[in-house]
Structure 1
Amino acid sequence: MPETKLKVAVLFGGTSEERAVSIASGAQVINALRSVGHEVLAIETSRGLLTAEEEGRLLSSRVDEVPPASDALAVLRSAEAGLIRSAALADVDVVFLALHGGTGEDGTIQAMLDMAGMAYTGSGHLGSAIAMDKDMSKRLFVAAGIATPRWLMAPSAPEEILREIGYPLVVKPNRQGSTVGLSVVRNPDALGAAIEHASQFDNEIMLEQFIAGRELTVGVLGDRALSVGEIVIEPDAIFDYKAKYQPGAVREIFPADLPDHVVATAQDAALRAHRALKLEGYSRADFRLDANGRLWCLEVNTLPGMTATSLLPQSAGASGISFAELCERICRAGIERHRGK
Structure 2
Amino acid sequence: MCVWMRGGAFPALSLYCLGNMCAIYGRLQAYQISPKRLYMLTKSRIWLFTPFIALFALAVGYFFLWSYAGDEVKTQLAANNVTWKQLSRSGFPARLTMDFDTPTFARQDISWSVPSLQLTVMPFETEHGVVDFASPHVFNGDMGRIELAHTGNMASLVLDTAGLKRASFTFTNPTMRVDAPRNKLTVSGDDVTLHVRRAPDNAERADIALRTGRITGDKRLGVSRSELDLDTPQNWLSGNIVPGDVIGIDNFIIVRDALTFRGSGRLKMANNGFVDGKLDMDVVNLVALFDLLEDAGVSQKRDRQRLMFLAQLSSAFSGKSRDRLQVPLRFKQRRSFIGPLDIGPAPRWR
What interval of TM-score do these two structures reach, taking the shorter chain for normalisation? under 0.3
Compare the two structures and name the one with the higher helix fraction: 1
Compare the two structures and name the one with the higher strand fraction: 2
Q: Relative contact order (alpha carbons < 8 A, sep ≥ 6): 1 or 2 greater?
A: 1
**Structure with the greater alpha carbon radius of gyration:** 2
TM-score of the pair, normalised by structure 1: 0.20
